[in-house]
Amino acid sequence: MYERMDVSEPASISTGIAHRYATAVYDLAKESDKIKALEGDLTALQEAMNSSEDFRDLIHSPIYTREQQGGAITALAEKMKLSPMMANLLALMAQKRRLFVLPQLVQTLREIIATEKGEVTADVTSAKALTKTQADKLAKSLNASTGKKVTLNQTVDESLIGGLVVKVGSKMIDTSIRAKLDSLQNAMKEVG
């Protein structure tokens, strides 16, 4: 017989680990008035994760030893000019074999910082990149509806064909043409 497995468990474990690290490093940064430096570190790490397959392999691959991960992450932290606080955190995570939670750590830290500033992040996916005017107009509209300062996290997904998918917290607005076509297709299946 096959045993049932809860596939959400590994994700929740990663989120829990990331949250503990994020809370600890945020508290340290706040005490030493280094929040700005922490935000710079997060941007550098996010860019590295987005643009470097080698970096993603380093943090996710189990084939590297603790020493290899630790040495590589220390060298990268120095090259990326990360703050000593973040460099030490990454070294500790490598030593504990926890680098795989780095994406969740970056996201959690961004959320903690945004909450402290009274900001909220909106994930915006569009078929093509928004112009500055479009992004500003969308941010202004979201500011008015949420009552908070909204920062846009933009991504492009050409499969949307047109329109936007906007996620703010647990709310999602999908005005993409793909969603409208899917809805129309489902309606046609019900009729036929």
One digit per residue, the tens of pLDDT, for the chain of length 192 reads 445 444 445 667 788 889 999 999 999 999 999 999 999 999 999 999 989 999 999 999 889 999 999 999 999 999 999 999 999 999 999 999 999 999 999 999 998 998 888 888 889 999 999 999 999 999 999 999 888 888 888 888 999 999 899 998 788 999 989 888 888 888 888 876
Look at the domain 10-114 and name its fold: Peroxidase; domain 1 (1.10.520)
| Domain segments of the chain as ranges | 10-114, 119-191
DSSP state letters, 17-38: HHHHHHHHHHHHHHHTT-HHHH
**Helix 84-95 vs helix 8-31: angle between axes, to the nearest 10 degrees?**
150
Q: What is the pLDDT of residue 192?
A: 62
Q: What is the pLDDT of residue 5?
A: 44
Q: What is the pLDDT of residue 10?
A: 61
Q: What is the pLDDT of residue 187?
A: 87
- Check: CB of residue 98 under 8 Å from CB of residue 73: no
- Element (DSSP H or E) covering residue 122: strand 119-126
Q: What is the pLDDT of residue 12?
A: 73
Q: What is the pLDDT of residue 118?
A: 86
Pair of tokens at residue 34: 């280094």
How far is residue 125's CA from residue 73's CA, in Å, rounded to a whole number? Answer: 31
The torsion angles phi and psi of 165, rounded to 5 degrees, stand at -125, 120
Q: What is the pLDDT of residue 120?
A: 87
Spatial CB neighbours of 44, under 8 Å, sequence gap ≥ 6 = 80, 81, 82
pTM, to two decimals? 0.67
Spatial CB neighbours of 99, under 8 Å, sequence gap ≥ 6 = 58, 59, 60, 69, 73, 90, 93
DSSP three-state, residue 39 = helix
